[in-house]
Homo-oligomer: A and B are copies of this chain.
Amino acid sequence: MATRPTSARTITIVDVAAEANVSKSTVSLVLKGSPLIKGETADRVKEAAAKLGYVYNRRAGELRGNASNAIGVVINDLMNPFFAEVLVGIERKLVDAGYVVLMAHTREDVALQDKVLQSMREQNAAGLMLCPALNTPRTILKTIQSWGIPLTVFVRNLGPGSYDFAGSDSEEGVFLATSHLLKAGHKQVGFLGGQKGVVFTQRLAGYKKALLEKGLAFSDDLVFNANPSRTGGYEAMNALLSKKPNLQAAVCYNDVVAFGALSAMGEKGLHAGSEFALMGFDNIMDTAHSNPPLSTVDIRPSELGEQAAAILLQRIQDPDAKRLVYTSQPTLLLRQTA
């Protein structure tokens, strides 16, 4: 599209003012729908604006008013549908509220994360939503706080502190999943996928808690670490199958890990459900029609995103409110794998 601006000069508020025979103050006022201006005048201004093809220059306006309608959201692993669903929820809520979203993907790179955050700051973001990359130092909280930009952390927390947060009750979720398997009669349950980090620790805690409740001992041999991805799940399941051939049940770190596990099982001709019970975590949309449909822990990803955004919006409204937190309460969703 070899194109260039239609008009050499961008048309501004003063052009509109001239066309409508009013001052630019008046134009500004009608543009923001001020009730101060007489309807008749307002109409004339609107006509003039339309006629000239005027387009509001938001950045100029914001410069004077020192406001901003951009909100930065940083995601780490968009390849995981869970985060895509959360992002969609966030985006919807923010756009509905009249904001525009500055999105960045950091693929777990802390240095990149610093860079994009800084960039969002320069853009004068009205707020920041952060799902911290693995190994993000807690100091990021103080840093952003010193910037004076409202922040809400989501999905992965940054340890204790008074920052706003939206996430799910990971411990409870895995507790539910593990307990379900135990109640079904399994004496041993594996834990598949995930790696050191706050969320992993919480999920593993839920697993241990369920074991404890049944008077069962926790054994490190039954946890198979791996990337929280399909590939990771595939590898973890293969490891489990070769090292613990008698195991017939496992809870997964999340749904994509479960999908990878399903793939590994399929290769061995192992039928999920009847021959090996598997539980996922998240309830991403894909689980409804996976092969076979996955039993999982439902934390309603897109609602989580919306709630996270709602928290940020609230914080922007009321900077002095006390800590805002949303915790998605997990529920068991049994389909065909357990």
Residues on A facing B (Cβ under 8 Å):
1-6, 10, 53, 55-60, 62-63, 66, 68, 70, 78-79, 81, 84-85, 87-88, 91-92, 95, 100-105, 107, 112, 116, 119-124, 141, 145-148, 150-151, 162-164, 230-231, 233-234, 259-260, 262-267, 285-286, 288-293, 315, 319-323
Q: How far is the CA of A102 from the CA of B299 in the complex (A)?
A: 28
Query: Given A62-B59, A100-B119, A3–B124 Cβ distance below 8 Å?
Result: no
A112 contacts which chain B residues (CB < 8 A)? 95
CB-contact partner of A291 in B3, B53, B263, B321, under 8 A: B263
Chain B residue nearest to A141 (CB atoms) is: B1
User: Is A292 in contact with B319, judged by CB distance below 8 angstroms?
Assistant: no
Q: How far is the CA of A315 from the CA of B4 in the complex (A)?
A: 11
**CA A145 to CA B102, docked complex, whole Å:** 23
Name the B residues within 8 Å of A263 (CB-CB): 289-293
CA distance A66 to B60 in the complex (A): 10
Q: A63-B63, A150-B1 are in contact. Are A105 and B91 (CB under 8 A)?
A: yes
| Contact B292 A57, beta carbon cutoff 8 Å | no
Q: Which of A5, A68, A120 has the most CB of B within 10 A?
A: A5
A58 to B120, CA, bound (A): 10
Contact A262 B291 (CB under 8 A): yes
Specify how many copies of this chain sit in the oligomer.
2
User: In the assembly, what is the distance between CA of A102 and CA of B84, in Å?
Assistant: 16
User: How far is A321 from B2 in the complex, measured between Cα atoms in Å?
Assistant: 6
Q: Please name all residues of chain B whose beta carbon is closer than 8 Å to the beta carbon of A68 when the two chains form the complex.
A: 59
In the complex, A102→B56 CA distance in Å?
18
Contacting pair B105 A104 (CB below 8 A): no
Chain B, residue nearest A119 (CB): B100
Choose from B78, B88, B151 the contact partner of A1 (Cβ within 8 Å).
B151
Q: Which B residue sits closest to A150, measured CB to CB?
A: B1
In the bound complex, CA of A146 to CA of B10 (Å): 12
29 contacting pairs across A/B (C-beta < 8 A)? A1-B141, A1-B323, A2-B319, A3-B148, A6-B148, A56-B122, A57-B63, A58-B122, A59-B68, A60-B63, A78-B87, A81-B84, A91-B105, A95-B104, A95-B112, A100-B116, A101-B102, A101-B104, A102-B102, A230-B285, A230-B286, A230-B288, A230-B289, A231-B288, A231-B289, A233-B289, A234-B289, A259-B286, A260-B289
Starting from the known contacts A59-B59, A230-B288, A290-B291, 4 additional A-B residue pairs (CB-CB under 8 Å) come to A70-B102, A79-B88, A84-B84, A100-B120
